[in-house]
Structure 1
Amino acid sequence: MMGSGLIGASLKTTGTPRPPQPVAGSTEPTVAGPFTGTDLDGAEQVPTGLPRAAPTGITIPRIGVRAGIMALGTNPDGTVQVPPLDQALLAGWYEPGPSPGEPGNSVIVGHVDSAAIGPAVFFSLGALQPGDTVTVDRTDGRAATFRVDSVASYPKAAFPTELVYGPSDRPGLRVVTCGGQFDEATGDYPDNVIVFASLIP
């Protein structure tokens, strides 16, 4: 089975502000069904998904993110790659999985901070709330916009692999970064903050 926790020590420096964390409560996501609306005739709209196309950028208005995206795979030990720390302002798309907008769960990861630059691309990810939007630009010129269903924090040792990388017949997005209280001894964060979102038709 694929390794799943977001690795990559942040090598945080003292004095860097602490990233916001999801609202305290159950760590189980309250993932709503994929967004549906109604058209002018009252018929339900269900997103069917877009053809495969690599993502080029991600925009999250609530937290001021507008970043490029690089393609990532897996490390030799089976864990998912993350962007290099010297490119901590870029996000990374897990290329073996669905592209954003395709049926299935597309996964985008990024650092919370780094010693070199301080706050990184997803520093404020934990501040997102249900109803917020995430837009991903694609190489085919189309943009896939997702509505946030829930935001949750999980210990890295209990990463919800199936909820993030598992199969789905609807287009979903999972955005992942590090979270929790930075551990000076290990030079890493103990948790992952995960945003669960559904494609808006």
Structure 2
Amino acid sequence: MARASMALAGVALIGFGVLLASARLLPSSELHAGEPDERVDSVELATRSGDVRVRVGTGDSVRVEQRVSYWWRPPGPGYEVRDGTLLLEDCGRFCDADYDVVVPDGVTVTGAVRSGDVELTGVAGIELQARSGAVTARDVTGPVRVTSRSGGIDIGLAEPADVTAEARSGDVTVSVPDARYRVDGSSRSGERRIEIPTEPDAEHDLTLDTRSGTVTVRPTPAP
């Protein structure tokens, strides 16, 4: 009987250990949301792992939602405003952070992301480096400069502007409104589909490069 009790106790301990290990393998999640009172003129991305969405709203307020998934210690909010710049940071090791941000009209986006998709809508300009993930921008009203190591780049302009985009592995697509454009750049492996008239002395320059991927330039679709 004693041996049977010891065996049952051993099985129970093993089961508890398995449950504890399983719990540690499953991430916990938290949502940090806020509306900073400070003026925001730009957004800077400095994220390690997670998707980022920034879009222009209808008013002057700023709203930030940060959803984190973590395995060990719960992180605090990873955003703050410094001298008019809303800084979106990662949440440390063993942690992913997704951002959903609403900003006023006229805000630009800069910075770098390591892993995750970036979606921007209505911003006034972009200067961004992405290591792994797709970059999508719609209704952009100012100049764009984007590089991506692994992931496609898809830019849609609401107003004529210069665009510089380079993707090592992925397609580059740019949609432009009616204006005069010059298209530069090269593609080592992939097609170049230029579906707009081009002029060598045009006011706006589209410099588009890919190592492995297709370059497409097309008119902005009618609303």
Whichever structure has more strand as a proportion of its residues is 2
Tell me the TM-score normalized by structure 2.
0.21
Which structure has the higher relative contact order (CA within 8 Å, separation 6+)?
1
Tell me the TM-score normalized by structure 1.
0.23
